[in-house]
A and B are shown apart, each in its own frame.
Chain A
Amino acid sequence: MNSNTESLSDEELAGLVQKGDTDKFGVLMERYQAKLFRYGKKFLYDSDNIEDVVQDVFIKTYQNINSFDVNQRFSPWIYRIAHNTYVNAIKKSSVGPMYLFDFDALVSHTVVDDPIVREKEQREMKDVVDKGLSLIEPKYREILVLYFIEELSYKEISDILHIPIGTVGVRIMRAKEILRDAMEKTNIEIPKI
């Protein structure tokens, strides 16, 4: 990666790929593959073909790059593709639908996404969440991965999961409670969350 490319934003790189500079897609892959690997590994958990799934994400990203609006942020856009691909992978490997109707998205919820509080909570909770992820269902596991491991904001998670921002806050809260209960049942030591 030369210094000229390094100074370009994801959105600028995506714009160049749209214009036919396919080499720049390699730079985008370098920037996102570690994140998408981590997201996939934590979300899919017991999947042994994570490599194929991540490869699928990048292929879909390239195929659909012309639908990306360079005035928007690239990160939630590629995470959205990853989310859809991972959900399909889970659907293929398990019985029954992953997401039934989400009652948390029925009405509005007031939440405050304070960056200082978020940073502190994300730092404190990261290891705890990592330990207990396998104990909870994918719907709650995913939101904890996006918030605590990938350190995304409520707004970014809302754009990835296509749910209202208020619902993001409520689902994170519920996921923490479920994680706490699951960890208590399995006698895993947990700090106050």
Chain B
Amino acid sequence: MNTENTQINNIKDQILNKINSGEVNMKPKYYFMLKLALLGVTIFLTFILSSIIVSYVLFSIKVSGQFFLLGFGAKGFYHFIMALPWVILGIDIALIIFLDWLLKSFRFGYNSPVLFLFIGTLASITLLGSLINFTSFHKGLLYRAEQKNLPIAGGFYMGLRKSHGNQGIFRGEIISIEGTSTFYMKYNDYDSDADDMTIEVFVPGNTDVYSLSLNPGDQIFIAGDKMSDGIRAYGMRKLTNEQ
């Protein structure tokens, strides 16, 4: 006990000597205020960036017509999942984890169970992301990208209204309707290059083309498999002007 008391007094004296000699100094208040401000700005920017990414994913699903896949049965659902921008979603999840880690600096952050904090931030980010989609933010960027007037983020928007044959997603314009089960479609991927071509589309088994109210000139979204003689569709939807 005596040894411990001596140790304790030694430490106290040593530290007070260091303080009085100026060897140990307290950091000024503004240092901590600056640190807190930096933390706040980082949290805000991460939250905004993450929300923009979520809004982009929602926008891309809507504009590409990808959400139609959900109405095309199990095969459509499979292709919907496969066609999601997983790399971008992965980056967003990493950002949310980073955001939660930053929030853990505050009492409400470390007092919340990890899962609840994650769900809370995910819900807030999705809400803000959905609100961003009510504005013309992404629409404006899409139009600028298609006009080749968006140098930095253009790549994210250029492919949205194109066919993605490897994912079983095709978009184009109906050229002519041939009988009750086939029509010809022209790829329209907005880049006017050599891969624009006319291709025959075989409509799903029991579907009559005329029952779909399709007309030449209509823009159409097709989910199907590309064969040597054309596309065998298992789902189709007429596209709106925005899509």
Interface residues of A (CB under 8 A from B): 17-18, 22-23, 25-26, 29-30, 33-34, 37, 51, 54-55, 58-59, 62-67, 105-108, 158-159, 162-167
CA distance A7 to B175 in the complex (A): 92
B10-27 CB contacts (< 8 Å) to partner A:
10-12, 14-16, 18-20, 24-27
Size bracket of the B interface: 20 to 34
Query: Other than the known A22-B19, A107-B115, what 19 A-B pairs have Cβ atoms closer than 8 Å?
Result: A23-B16, A26-B12, A33-B12, A34-B8, A37-B4, A37-B8, A51-B7, A55-B14, A62-B15, A62-B26, A63-B24, A66-B27, A66-B31, A67-B32, A105-B114, A162-B104, A162-B110, A164-B110, A165-B111
Interface residues of B (CB under 8 A from A): 4, 7-8, 10-12, 14-16, 18-20, 24-29, 31-32, 104, 107, 110-116
Q: A37-B4, A37-B7, A66-B29 are in contact. Are A58 and B15 (CB under 8 A)?
A: yes
- Are B114 and A65 in contact, CB atoms less than 8 angstroms apart? no
CA distance A66 to B8 in the complex (A): 24
Which residues of A are found within 8 Å of B31, using beta-carbon distances? Answer: 66
Q: Which of A18, A67, A165 has the most CB of B within 10 A?
A: A67
Q: A22-B16, A55-B14, A62-B24 are in contact. Are A33 and B8 (CB under 8 A)?
A: yes
- Are A108 and B116 in contact, CB atoms less than 8 angstroms apart? yes
CA distance A22 to B25 in the complex (A): 10
Which residues of A are found within 8 Å of B20, using beta-carbon distances? Answer: 22
What distance in Å separates the Cβ of A170 from its nearest Cβ neighbour in chain B?
Answer: 11
Ordered by A's residue number, 22 sampled pairs between the chains whose C-beta atoms are within 8 Å are A18-B26, A22-B16, A22-B19, A22-B20, A25-B19, A29-B12, A29-B15, A30-B8, A33-B8, A33-B12, A51-B7, A51-B10, A62-B24, A63-B24, A106-B114, A108-B116, A159-B107, A162-B110, A163-B110, A164-B111, A164-B112, A165-B111
Which residues of A are found within 8 Å of B29, using beta-carbon distances? Answer: 18, 66
What distance in Å separates the Cβ of A12 from its nearest Cβ neighbour in chain B?
Answer: 17
- Are B28 and A25 in contact, CB atoms less than 8 angstroms apart? no
- Are B16 and A25 in contact, CB atoms less than 8 angstroms apart? yes
What distance in Å separates the Cβ of B127 from its nearest Cβ neighbour in chain A?
Answer: 22
CA distance A172 to B121 in the complex (A): 29
- Are B4 and A64 in contact, CB atoms less than 8 angstroms apart? no
CA distance A93 to B17 in the complex (A): 29
- Are B26 and A65 in contact, CB atoms less than 8 angstroms apart? yes
Q: A34-B8, A55-B11, A55-B15 are in contact. Are A64 and B110 (CB under 8 A)?
A: no
CA distance A25 to B19 in the complex (A): 10
